[in-house]
Amino acid sequence: MFDNFPLWPQQASAGAANVDALYVFLLVLSAFMCVAIFSLILTFAVKYHRRPGVAAEQIEGSTSLEVTWSVIPMIIFLFIFAWGAFIYFQERTPPQGAAEVYVVAKQWMWKVQHEEGQREINELHVPVGRDVKLVMTSQDAIHSFYVPAFRIKQDVLPGRYTTAWFRATKPGTYQLFCAQYCGTSHSGMIGQIVVMEPPDYQAWLGGGPVVPLAVSGEKLFSDMGCVTCHRADAQGRGPNLVGVFGKPVALEDGRTLTADENYIRQCILNSRGQVVKGFPAIMPVFQGLLSEDQVNSLVAYIKSLAGPQPGPTMKTASITPQPEAKVQ
Asked whether 98 and 165 are in contact (CB, 8 A), the reply is: yes
DSSP states along 22-84: HHHHHHHHHHHHHHHHHHHHHHHHHHT---TT-PPPPPPP-HHHHHHHHHHHHHHHHHHHHHH
CA Rg value for the chain: 27
Q: DSSP assignment, residue 306?
A: T
Q: Residue 266, SS3?
A: helix
Higher pLDDT, 62 or 32: 32
| pLDDT per position as a tens digit, 195-236 | 999 999 988 988 767 888 889 888 888 888 888 887 766 567
Confidence of residue 4 (pLDDT cuts 50, 70, 90): low
Is the Cβ–Cβ distance between 161 and 136 less than 8 Å?
yes
Whole-number pLDDT of residue 313: 43
Q: List all residues 6 or more positions away from 277 whose beta carbon is below 8 Å from its beta carbon.
A: 250, 251, 252
Q: What is the pLDDT of residues 225-269, one digit of tens each?
A: 888 887 766 567 778 888 888 888 888 888 888 888 998 898 888
| DSSP state letter for 246 | T
Which residue did the predictor score with more confidence, 209 or 284?
A: 284
User: What is the pLDDT, as a whole number, of residue 175?
Assistant: 95
Residue ranges of domains in the chain, CATH in brackets = 99-205 (2.60.40.420), 213-304 (1.10.760.10)
Contacts of 307 by beta carbon, 8 Å cutoff, 6+ apart: 243, 321
Q: What is the mean pLDDT of residues 160-189?
A: 94
According to the per-residue pLDDT averaged within each range, which of 133-137, 233-237, 311-315, 317-321 is highest? 133-137
CB contact at 8 A, 287 and 262: no
Q: Alpha-carbon distance 3 to 180, whole Å?
A: 26
Q: Are 164 and 195 in contact (CB under 8 A)?
A: no
